[in-house]
Amino acid sequence: MALDIDFIAHNSNLKNFNPNFKVLISFIFILVTLIANSPIVSLIIFAATAILIILIAKTPIKDYLQFISIPLLFSIITCTFMLFFLGSGEIIYNTGIFNITIREDSLNLAYSTFLRIVACFQALGFLTLTTPIMETFNVLSKLKIPKIFLEISMLMYNSIFIFLKQFELMTNSQKTRLGYNGVKNSYRSLGLLVSNLFIKSLNRSEALQNSLDSRCYGGEFPVYEK
């Protein structure tokens, strides 16, 4: 089952905290991390957001770990490459294979980049794990982000859940018939899955259009003031 971030946000302890502040805090954290460009600042931001997310917002630790695991994995891969293949400074470790070495400046670059990514991501995570998406949209629209962007994001956001659900249903049905038994079958099944998802998505978009038109949609989403 996919991680339902919005569900976590709806049950967060900070759900009723002013969303303007949450957006502000999150952006300040990101800006500070990027401008300071110092591993220590990144670490402090990382610790601060972790405390906010786990202790104050009371996000379940399991959900939190699942949430950061994917970006963590990506940044580890990226930074590993940086570590071995960049830099021109003093060699501090030689692996002995193909002359691949770790240099002093590449080590610095890799770990400071890693900390920056993780800190920024967590600052953003603080926002997404404590603020239901529609409140974030509200704040963004107050900030005069063009309406068209918000409308497209809103529809995309909604479609993601339907898409994931469909994806899950279809992979399960393929697995039931051993569609992923072996590399060759897996390739074939994946191809079928992707093309069918595409057709399904087209059908769904037509159905959505019909239902929007049935409710007098005029090309622009009206704003409901709560």
Partner 1 sequence: MKIIEAKDIVYKYPDGTKALDNINFAVEKGDMVALLGPNGAGKSTLFLHFNGILEPSSGEIDVDGEKLNYKKKSLLRVRQFVGIVFQNPDDQLFAPTVEEDVAFGPLNIGLTQEETKKRVKDSLRKVGMEGFEKKPPHHLSGGQKKRIAIAGILAMDPKVMILDEPTSGLDPKGASKILKLLYELNAEGMTIIISTHDVDLVPIYAKNIHVIKDGKIIKKGSPHEVFDDVSVIRKADLRLPRIAHLSEILDKQDHFKMSDSYPLTIGEARKSFMEFIDK
* Binders of partner 1 in range 156-195 (CB under 8 A): 157-158, 161-162
What's the rounded Cα separation, in Å, for the pair 131 and 205? Answer: 28
- Of 27-35, 66-74, 108-116, 153-161: span binding partner 1 (CB under 8 A): 153-161
Nearer to partner 1, 72 or 208 (CB): 208
What's the rounded Cα separation, in Å, for the pair 11 and 58? Answer: 9
Q: Does 207 bind partner 1 (CB under 8 A)?
A: yes
Binding-site size for partner 1 (CB under 8 A) equals 31
Nearer to partner 1, 14 or 118 (CB): 14
What's the rounded Cα separation, in Å, for the pair 73 and 178? Answer: 29
Query: Which position has the token pair 């982000």?
Result: 145
* Binders of partner 1 in range 80-109 (CB under 8 A): none
Q: Does 132 bind partner 1 (CB under 8 A)?
A: yes
Q: How far is CA 25 from CA 40, 67, 120, 142, 219, in A?
A: 19, 20, 12, 16, 34
Q: Does 63 bind partner 1 (CB under 8 A)?
A: no
- Of 20-28, 38-46, 77-85, 203-211: span binding partner 1 (CB under 8 A): 203-211
Q: Does 142 bind partner 1 (CB under 8 A)?
A: no
Nearer to partner 1, 96 or 222 (CB): 222
Nearer to partner 1, 27 or 217 (CB): 217
Nearer to partner 1, 14 or 30 (CB): 14
Nearest to 220 by CA among 152, 137, 142, 162: 152
First-to-final CA distance of the chain: 32
Q: Does 214 bind partner 1 (CB under 8 A)?
A: yes
Give me the residues paired with residue 103 across strands: 91
Other CB atoms within a 10 A radius of the CB of residue 152 amount to 11
CA 44 distance to own-chain centroid: 22
Q: How far is CA 34 from CA 83, 123, 213, in A?
A: 20, 12, 45
Nearer to partner 1, 16 or 99 (CB): 16
CB of 123 within 8 A of CB of 26? Answer: yes
Least distance in angstroms from the C-beta of 108 to partner 1? 43
* Binders of partner 1 in range 9-38 (CB under 8 A): 10
| Residues contributing to the site for partner 1 (CB under 8 A) | 6-7, 10, 132-134, 137, 154-155, 157-158, 161-162, 204, 207-208, 210-218, 221-226
